[in-house]
Amino acid sequence: MREIVTRFSGNPIITPDMIPGANAVFNSSVVPFEGRYAAVLRVESRQGYQTMRLAWSEDGVCFEVDPDPILAPAEEPFLTYEEAIYDPRITRIGDTYYICYAAENRYGSQVSVSKTLDFRSFEKVAIASEPTNRNMVLFPEKIGGMYVRLDRPFQPGGQGHIWMCDSPDLVHWGNPRCIMESRRFAWDQGKIGPGAPPIKTKDGWLVIYHGTTPRCNGLIYKAGVAILDLDDPSKVVARSREYLMAPSETYERVGDVPNVVFVTSAIPDFDKDEIRLCYGAADTCFCMATARISDLIEFARNG
């Protein structure tokens, strides 16, 4: 089968040596903004602390990283529940950009939401789950008058499935239901979770998700594709049998956590039938690849 994803020849696009004092930069999020690209980066310092940084690019490839961290908590309850924040996902709803991210604390991992209009000032919205949860992504519009999210609660035994829940205000969440499970003996037999925020297409909500393959020396993180029903996204219309991406390049296989591709942003250009996938590699650097939107939809149905 032909490869439908093309890795950027200049990968990785963001590396630790671009950020003074950084050990790694990965699992970050990129969106178009006012003719440029804005990125919220997950940066791990050489001291081992997790921070988030802002970066800017004219072309989505060459980034300049701002020197100061953003989204650091300054008041309760965030001081207690956001001891370490990482893995941002950005969704635009109207004129507002919502940033969902993991919030690690003494009780486990939760998910938080902040928002911005200009990527200069940020407002914290809520700590949006109880422990232990991760990988929250928002749909880019309300469905049935409600905000809708995907996430991955933890479960014993190293498993984890994709869940969905609703909110009237991004603070109070309910109606949880599991919409996708890991598959026994398949490439995504370990934990699975949302990758990039869902993309609305005429064929349904296009979802790039991550799945793990357990091996005797650890997990291999791969990417898959699913399509959810437009009106009721708790219904899975199609899901790829094969993985879309797996670690193959040296920068994906060698790093702080070997054998990881972890897609966190998907930027569509419907006029060109093209999508740009931004992903973390080996928990060390940040990379980019492209594909045709139509190929991803076909792959979800038949791949």
Percent of the chain with pLDDT over 90: 96
Candidates 162, 149, 143; CA nearest to 232 is 143
List, in sequence order, every beta strand (DSSP E) within 71-191.
Answer: 84-93, 96-105, 108-116, 123-127, 137-138, 147-151, 162-167, 174-180
Are 97 and 121 in contact by the 8 Å Cβ rule? The answer is no
Q: Is the pLDDT of residue 67 over 60?
A: yes
Q: Can you read off the two tokens belonging to residue 195?
A: 């990758």
pLDDT in tens, 166-204: 999 999 999 999 999 999 999 999 999 999 999 999 999
Q: Is the pLDDT of residue 103 over 70?
A: yes
Confidence of residue 112 (pLDDT cuts 50, 70, 90): very high
Mean of all residue pLDDT scores within the chain: 96
Q: Can you read off the two tokens belonging to residue 41?
A: 């980066």
Q: Is the pLDDT of residue 1 over 60?
A: no
CA 83-88-89 angle, 5° bins: 145
pLDDT in tens, 223-241: 999 999 999 999 999 999 9
Question: Which ranges constitute the DSSP H helices of the chain?
Answer: 78-81, 250-253, 293-302
What the chain holds in terms of domains, given with CATH numbers, is 6-302 (2.115.10.20)
pLDDT in tens, 55-66: 999 999 999 999
In the three-class reduction of DSSP (H, G, I as helix; E, B as strand; rest coil), residue 272 is classed as helix
Alpha carbons within 13 A on the beta-carbon side of 97: 20
